[in-house]
Amino acid sequence: MMKLFVLSLTALTLLLFVGCEPNEFKEGVVMAGGQYVPAATLNKGKQIYSEYCMACHGVNGDGNGVASKGLQPPPRNFKLGIIKFGNVVSGELTHDDAVYKSFKHGLNGSAMLPWDLKQGQMVAVWQYIKTFAPDTWIGKDKKLGEKLDRQTFKDPFTMARKEQAIELGKKVYHVEANCQSCHRGYVTLAEYDAMSKELTGDGIDELDEDFYQLKIQGSDHDYQVIPPDYTWHELRSVRTGDKEIEDIYLRLLAGVGGTGMPAWKDTLEDHKIWALAYYVNHLRSFKDSPKRKNFVSRFK
Ligand code: HEC
Ligand code: HEC
């Protein structure tokens, strides 16, 4: 009898405590894409957020949590409503599964580590995070972007024609897409000149002063961003293993939200985007390798 009494007393205090929480959700909301999220899910998400995420992302979701000091890149400011690694053309609203992938695998080279959350926990915490940017995410009228769906991806090269893809990717990278206008170049003047003549008919007399340098730049996030050197930096949204080409291809199609990194979908022909993915992945193979020194020393 006594036990029961104590139990119900604890339950009552718990209830009172939760009831007093000023931000407790009493009603569900309709998120972008017409998804109804019940209050219970948001409350569960808030609990998970407070426990695991708040230290970096902050009480108000502004990215200024107690553990955020000095982190490079800084934790995402959720109030801005911008996701970098979505599965839609950047600038549009992403589908949830792209964000769940980032939870599961983390964002390489950042403090955002992989999280061992169950599906229900990922859903709850992400729906809660959306409430930090209601103007972006909440409302029946809000539409998600067209999903860049992995199921529909068709690699025209496959590993069998890998070398061919890398060769084409190298040309597209430096001549057609001019990726080194933000990132850096990975060819000598002689190679650049020859590739340019082949593709455009015009040669190159000299390299821009910053051809081999990364161009640090502003962004819609509240800090400057650094286009990676693939032979040196980790690529945030790219896993190692048999999915790496596909991960890079998706990133090139979609771009990186809120940064200068463009979505190349419909700007370049599809097979050229695949070729670029092979080329970028080839450059990644120099990372942490003794071969890197030799490779980059050609570009001085
Ligand atoms: C140790 C600090 C830290 C913790 C703890 C942390 N994050 Fe992050 N998070 C980061 C950083 C740093 C970034 C930004 C990475 C970047 O810009 O590439 C980030 C980015 C994100 C993004 C943005 C992804 C995108 O594509 O823009 C989401 C969503 C996110 N975190 C959710 C969470 C959730 C949910 C938790 C708790 C389960 C959590 N984070 C815990 C540091 C942290
Ligand atoms: C206008 C500037 C700009 C141009 C042009 C540009 N990028 Fe980027 N790129 C960026 C920036 C900035 C980032 C880093 C975004 C971040 O993580 O904050 C980036 C990131 C990337 C990433 C890493 C994605 C990840 O998961 O971390 C890859 C790969 C990439 N770019 C490839 C390319 C290729 C290939 C081209 C040419 C076809 C290109 N970029 C052209 C600015 C640019």
pLDDT in tens, 134-145: 999 999 999 999
Instruction: Name the helix (H) or strand (E) containing 42.
Output: helix 39-48
pLDDT of residue 73: 96
Confidence band (pLDDT; 50, 70, 90) for 20?
very low
- 2 versus 161: the higher-pLDDT residue is 161
Under a CB-based contact definition with an 8 Å cutoff, are residues 83 and 32 in contact?
no
Q: Say how far apart CA 211 and CA 181 lie, in whole Å.
A: 8
Q: Is the pLDDT of residue 179 over 70?
A: yes
Where is average pLDDT lowest: 4-13, 53-62, 180-189, 276-285? 4-13
State which of 49, 66, 76, 125 you would mutate to test the pocket of ligand 1, scoring each by most atoms of that ligand within 8 A of its C-beta: 76
Q: Say how far apart CA 218 and CA 160 lie, in whole Å.
A: 40
Q: Is the pLDDT of residue 10 over 80?
A: no
CATH T-level fold of 159-297: Cytochrome Bc1 Complex; Chain D, domain 2 (1.10.760)
Q: Write out residues with Cβ below 6 Å of ligand 2.
A: 84, 173, 177, 179, 181-183, 217, 225, 227-228, 235-238, 248, 251-252, 256, 259-262, 264, 276, 280
What's the pLDDT tens digit per position in 270-292? 999 999 999 999 999 999 999 99
Please state which of the four CATH numbers 2.60.40.1120, 3.40.50.720, 1.10.760.10, 2.30.40.10 is assigned to the domain occupying 25-137: 1.10.760.10
Under a CB-based contact definition with an 8 Å cutoff, are residues 253 and 266 in contact?
no
When pLDDT is averaged across residues 38-65 and rounded to a whole number, the result is 97
Instruction: Name the helix (H) or strand (E) containing 119.
Output: helix 119-130
